[in-house]
Chain A
Amino acid sequence: MTESLSVSETLSPELFEPMTIEMSVDKFEQPSITYWQATWQKLLRNPKAVSSLCIITCLVFITLVGPFIWTVDPAIQDLEQISQPPSWGRSALVVDDFGIWQGVPITEMEQGEEDGPLVLKVIGKGNTEYVRLTWRPIKGISEYHIYRNEFVPLDIATLGIPLAEIILIDGEAVGYEDRLKLSERDYYYSVVAIEQVMNREDSDTDMPIAVYSTIRVSVIQGVTKADALFLNLESEEVNGAQTVKLPLHPFGTDGLGRDILSRLMHGARTSLLIGILAPLIYIAMGVVYGGVSGYRGGRTDEVMMRFADFVIALPFLLFMILLKVAFGIGPGESGILPMIIALIMLGWPSVARIVRGQTFVIKEEAYIQAARLMGAKPFYLVYRHVLPNVLPLIIVSLTFAIPATIFTEAFLSFIGFGVVPPNPSWGSMCNDGLQHMLSTPHELIFPASVICIAVLCFNLLGDGLREAMDVKS
């Protein structure tokens, strides 16, 4: 009932001759690979880690090369295009420079019925620089209120924000010029004629009776002649109107009209510089400190580790803020270097503790003892035996320290103690974007997504590495 046998089969006698070594080797030996080859192969089998590694590589590449290709200055404020959503090239109508617009003289107006309804008219094309309105006044009424709404008004109570109250003087021009924060969209302007109670003989009520009329105005992007000239914009004729091409902002602009793409790339330099440099340095410090402590052991170890314990016990972010302030850079000044120094001062002990523990274990291993008996110097021992053993641990710590540091930078920049304008960082961009979150969410969403993607990729890569190198967390 065990292995199925072909009982009847006769086996030829030569099968029972001794086997050769080659037979054994062919059948049973397998190729051996080094630890790092095995790690690499295991990592390649993890799709999450591989794609993360690709994205990180792209990110670093864009950070290094991007600003040379997309050469827009991240600090230049394009006041014509404040808080613009992402777009591929926009053009703008060239309009008159700022000046006083009087309105349309009554004499030039088409004559209509004497007591007819209010007729509103837009003079020129409504654009983001100005909207010019005029209307034919109702006889006997000289007071008019102007309202603007972003939606169709339903009744007199929903006309929108009041813009002006105009008292007409006989024979003068009629008109109103709106310059209040116009953006590219439809507006509903309403003009209300306020009938004074006094003026009506048949009135038996004290209430003023209001007549109003609404007009829809589609506002397009406009730019004044002076600005177009100043910014050296390329002009062209479209349908008889003079237009210019506005500077391109593929990711839109922020609240000060700065190019978000450019800021993201320059911000990546800041964020990744801090995120990678600080952990590299403090991990190196931790390795040396922990290595020395673990290797020396005894009294030295006790003192060194006790000190490390105290530094660990400091509340991290609290002291990040404190140290950042202490290094002479108060709020309002860009502080990349102080931030790196503060991160290093607080970051090294946890690494030191891990390395010290590992060194302690490895030091007792028989092969180290053997090497020591053969006269190996401590430096050689640490370099040749201890370091390779803690290297996987260090690499994994590094991949997790980078996203943590990016987070810390973002946190500090967000509450205003990190990198400060005009130097962009992802965190400070989020802080800026938060203020316009409701009207133009892209200002927050772009930098926030970049932080998330970078942190996510480093985390996934770290997970993959930990698994591949079989490091306990």
Chain B
Amino acid sequence: MKNEIQDRPLLYQSMLEISDLYVDFSVLNGTIHALQGVSLTVEAGKTLAIVGESGCGKSVTAQAIMGLIPVVGGRITKGSIRFGGQTVYANDDTKLQKKEWAGKQIAMIFQDPMNGLNPTLTIGEQIAEPLVVHKGLSKSEGQKIAIELLDKVRIADAKLRIKQYPFEFSGGMLQRVMIAMSLASEPKLLIADEPTTALDTTVQNQILSLLAEIQREQSMALMIITHDLGVVAKMADQVAVMYGGRVVERGLSDRILASPGHPYMQGLKEAMPNLKKAEPLTAIAGTPPDLSKLYSSCSFAPRCRYGMKVCVERIPPLFSVRDQHTSACWLHHDAAPANPLVLDVPHD
């Protein structure tokens, strides 16, 4: 079993480390196991993209880092998160994250900028709030910095704009405001949860370029959550693919994009429209797994065209596919057939 690995030694200094994280949500008729053993690392100054379809646990992972799990009504049942020498364990409350991380060393921007800002406060107040609260700046000092930050995210007439309310801005503008707000506390890590999903395509590119530029300038780490492989290709150094509350593939982004090791990632890639070649798009058949149960199998098995008996028997561990590319699929096991039989996956 030479290629079954634990985790490769880190080349870069890892800044954020998530180990075997489990998050549950109680709902009316049972429990949703949103994360079922997620492990991730983010390296200083690098960009990690987390990819996956809706409900795979991408956003929950981000919320866990920020200490937002209790806020959204869940709880961390197992695992730990380490950042800058401090560790938060399961069942601990989120005091540490709230006091030391959130809004200071780690900042986050959300998917929907229209709802992410308070409709009854001015933009300036909201941008300067972390400074006023955490650094004890006066209101006027805060406003001054807010103007600088708005300049930085290229919003014209910043002086006027800080006195306006969110409804007076367009979606793209609001996302810039969100970025400005997250930069106020000069974080070491910025988490962007689907920052462009709610925006027009042209605006999407502007925002992504802005993020990349700011990341370079501030030399901070960026964790970008997306379901868009285009964003991954454009932004990410590394990528983690999530499915059914687990990380199923991770490694350097160009390697994974070039030849995905996991059938799910292969499916995602095939579902991407390609402007250069006129090929029919293929969707991944089936529906995402029901997270109200904890699987003792590969949760992708029912949708997988290479499904094997082992897939329903055991959870696949991460196998090394090549250097800096691991994949949680039994196909990479030594005993797996080189040319697996392609199954007819039931469509529903």
Residue from A3, A7, A18 in contact with B307 in the complex, judged by beta carbons closer than 8 Å: A18
The answer to whether A203 has its CB under 8 Å from any CB of chain B is no
The answer to whether A310 has its CB under 8 Å from any CB of chain B is no
Contacting residues, chain A, for B301 (C-beta < 8 A): 19, 24, 27-28
Which interface class (under 10, 10 to 19, 20 to 34, 35 or more) fits B?
A: 35 or more
Residue from B7, B309, B336 in contact with A14 in the complex, judged by beta carbons closer than 8 Å: B309
Residue from B39, B297, B310, B336 in contact with A27 in the complex, judged by beta carbons closer than 8 Å: B297
Q: Does the CB pair B341–A16 fall under 8 Å?
A: no
When chains A and B are docked, how far (Å) is the Cα of A7 from the Cα of B5?
9
Question: Known: A2-B39, A3-B318, A7-B4. Contact between A19 and B308, CB under 8 A?
Answer: yes
Q: Does the CB pair A30–B309 fall under 8 Å?
A: no
Contacting residues, chain A, for B4 (C-beta < 8 A): 5, 7
Specify which of A2, A13, A24 lies most central, judged by the most chain B CB atoms within 10 Å of its CB.
Answer: A2
The answer to whether B1 has its CB under 8 Å from any CB of chain A is yes
Contacting residues, chain A, for B297 (C-beta < 8 A): 27
When chains A and B are docked, how far (Å) is the Cα of A467 from the Cα of B336?
49
**Secondary structure of the B side of the interface?**
loop
The answer to whether A365 has its CB under 8 Å from any CB of chain B is no
Q: Does the CB pair B309–A21 fall under 8 Å?
A: no
Q: Which residue of B lies closest to A12 (CB)?
A: B335
Count A-B pairs with CB separation below 8 Å.
Answer: 82
When chains A and B are docked, how far (Å) is the Cα of A42 from the Cα of B30?
11
Contacting residues, chain B, for A15 (C-beta < 8 A): 308-310, 313, 335
Q: Does the CB pair A3–B37 fall under 8 Å?
A: yes
When chains A and B are docked, how far (Å) is the Cα of A375 from the Cα of B307?
45
The answer to whether B330 has its CB under 8 Å from any CB of chain A is yes
Q: Does the CB pair B28–A16 fall under 8 Å?
A: no
CB B95 to nearest CB in A, in angstroms, measures 26
When chains A and B are docked, how far (Å) is the Cα of A356 from the Cα of B119?
29
Q: Does the CB pair B37–A19 fall under 8 Å?
A: no
The answer to whether B312 has its CB under 8 Å from any CB of chain A is yes
Q: Does the CB pair A16–B290 fall under 8 Å?
A: no
Residue from A11, A16, A28 in contact with B337 in the complex, judged by beta carbons closer than 8 Å: A16
Q: Scan residues 30-86 of chain A and give those whose CB is less than 8 A from a CB of chain B.
A: 30, 41-42, 45
The answer to whether A1 has its CB under 8 Å from any CB of chain B is yes
Q: Does the CB pair A2–B37 fall under 8 Å?
A: yes
Q: Does the CB pair A2–B317 fall under 8 Å?
A: yes
Q: Does the CB pair A7–B1 fall under 8 Å?
A: yes
The answer to whether B346 has its CB under 8 Å from any CB of chain A is yes
Contacting residues, chain A, for B29 (C-beta < 8 A): 41-42, 45
Residue from B312, B333, B343, B346 in contact with A16 in the complex, judged by beta carbons closer than 8 Å: B333
Specify which of A3, A17, A41 lies most central, judged by the most chain B CB atoms within 10 Å of its CB.
Answer: A3
Q: Which residue of A lies closest to B289 (CB)?
A: A28
Question: Known: A2-B318, A3-B318. Contact between A18 and B308, CB under 8 A?
Answer: yes
Question: Known: A2-B37, A11-B335. Contact between A23 and B318, CB under 8 A?
Answer: no
Q: Does the CB pair A42–B307 fall under 8 Å?
A: no
CB B207 to nearest CB in A, in angstroms, measures 31
Known interface pairs A1-B7, A15-B313; 7 further A-B residue pairs with C-beta atoms within 8 A, sorted by A's residue number: A1-B39, A2-B317, A5-B317, A11-B333, A16-B309, A19-B309, A42-B29
- 12 interchain pairs, CB-CB under 8 A: A1-B19, A2-B318, A3-B315, A3-B317, A5-B6, A7-B4, A16-B308, A18-B308, A18-B341, A24-B301, A27-B312, A30-B290
Residues of A within 8 A of B (CB): 1-3, 5, 7-8, 11, 13-19, 21, 23-24, 27-28, 30, 41-42, 45, 467
Residues of B within 8 A of A (CB): 1, 4, 6-7, 19-20, 28-29, 37, 39, 247, 289-290, 297, 301-302, 306-313, 315, 317-318, 328, 330, 333, 335-337, 340-341, 343, 346
A-B complex: 8 closest residue pairs judged by Cβ atoms? A15-B310, A19-B307, A28-B302, A24-B302, A2-B39, A5-B317, A18-B341, A3-B317
